[in-house]
Amino acid sequence: MPETPTPFKYTLLHRDAGTAARRGTFSTCRGVVQLPTFMPVGTRGTVKGVELRQLRETGAEIVLGNTYHLMLRPGEKIVKELGGLHAFTGWEKPMLTDSGGFQIFSLDRLAKITEEGAAFRSHIDGARFHLTPERSVQVQEDLDSDIAMVLDHVVGLPNTRRAIEDAMARTIRWAKRSQDAHRLETQTQFAIVQGGLEYDLRKICAEELAALDFDGYAIGGLSVGEPPQAMYDCLEMLCPVLPAEKPRYLMGVGRPEDILEGIRRGVDMFDCVMPSRNGRNAMAFTDEGPKRLRNARYERDPRPLEEGCPCPACQRSLGYLRHLFMTGEMLGPILLTIHNLTYYQRLVAGARRAIEEDRFTEYCAEKYAGWAASRGGQFNPS
């Protein structure tokens, strides 16, 4: 860690001529992140089944850690005692930690939300916890991530306007409390815009949070039950309202087509468990569409998973990869997780090049054509 903290800074390098897609960078104390980017999810301090050297070789530049899970096990004080999340995990590049808000939302019946914060029971042993905006800040400062998310109030969709408006207003108040509690100079905070699919509420939330001058802005509360096109329409409206000189992060969204459509509308950062979770379940992402390797059609297939992919899974045959899953060998999920993470990094790296060359629309069309071929027809991202 440098003695003098590096200023957190977004730099716009180029804007695509035909879309709102942006090519930029975001500087942190532990390195510069090329944007657009995809962040692998290391929920409990590890991307499941992937060693750090392998993770670096996928092209990943920033990894996400989960405040809620690390707070429960091993506990943020233990992580701090062992040198912070970077020393604890061995990952030397930038890290982002979420606030715990989405996990509280997913707990549903175990959590009670008040103005003070969220009271909930651990899903592990039933122990009582109380997570306030200030407590979330303290936990993330102990974890010593580079980017910390403020605590937000997430509600599922569809929902009543009253519930969405209440959560949105509380998110703004909690963001200010988080900002006031923040002390760690080597860590920055991103605010989270809520408001469901109510465009006027999203706009109010974005404007109120922009006035607080955070270093970055996340879009939360999407991909929680709404149709993809509704999410795209929301991004179309919201991105121009967010500060142009700050990075924009679409939380928890990760189908390849969703990433491209988010980039098209001006989003810079993405995360999702999909590439790793689907990899563990024998599904590989490719430019020819998804391949489900338990399918009998691959039993005698000598071809690689994907031509031109540098990952270790693609150095084996489809028949061998299927064999690993059919026999329950742990190498199968490991290799497919690495492949999927590599695919996502190749996807955003290609997007960065396409933006620089003012051909992002053509890039998307090329990807959609390949995905459509596997489905026997036209590909529609929505």
State pLDDT tens for residues 261-317: 999 999 999 999 999 999 999 999 999 999 999 999 999 999 999 999 999 999 999
> Under DSSP, is residue 307 helix (H, G, I), strand (E, B) or coil?
coil
DSSP assignments along 230-294, one per residue:
HHHHHHHHHGGGS-TTS-EEETT---HHHHHHHHHTT--EEE-SHHHHHHHTTEE--TT--EETT
Contact 179, 209 (CB under 8 A): no
From the candidates 16, 268, 271, 287, give the one annotated as an active-site residue: 271
State the residue for tokens 């990433």: 259
Cα–Cα distance measured from residue 86 to residue 362, given in angstroms and rounded to the nearest whole number:
39
- DSSP symbol at 29: T
The residues, any chain, with a CB within 8 Å of residue 160's CB and separated by 6 or more, are none
Q: Structure tokens of 112?
A: 């009670």
CA neighbours within 13 Å on the CB side: how many for 187?
28
**Close Cβ partners of 329 (under 8 Å, ≥ 6 residues apart):** 323
Q: Can you tell me the distance from the alpha carbon of 188 to that of 214, in angstroms, rounded to the nearest whole number?
A: 8
- pLDDT of res. 235: 98
pLDDT, tens only, 58-90:
999 999 999 999 999 999 999 999 999 999 999
pLDDT band per the 50, 70, 90 thresholds, residue 2: very low
For the segment 103-138, what is each residue's pLDDT rounded down to a tens digit? 776 666 667 889 999 888 777 787 788 899 999 999
Largest Cα–Cα separation, the chain: 61
Yes or no: is domain 19-272 CATH 3.20.20.105?
yes
16, 98, 142, 268: which is the annotated catalytic residue?
98
Please report which confidence band the pLDDT of residue 101 belongs to, taking 50, 70 and 90 as the band edges: confident
Confidence band, pLDDT 50/70/90 cuts, at residue 4: low
pTM: 0.95
Respond yes or no on whether the N-terminal peptide bond of residue 36 is cis (omega within 30° of 0).
Answer: yes
How far does Cα 75 stand from its chain's mean position? Answer: 23
147 conformational bin, left if phi > 0, alpha if psi -120 to 50, beta if neither: beta
Active site residue 125: no
| CA–CA dist 192, 250 (Å, integer) | 9
Domain map of the chain by residue range? Answer: 19-272, 279-375
Catalytic residue status for 271: yes
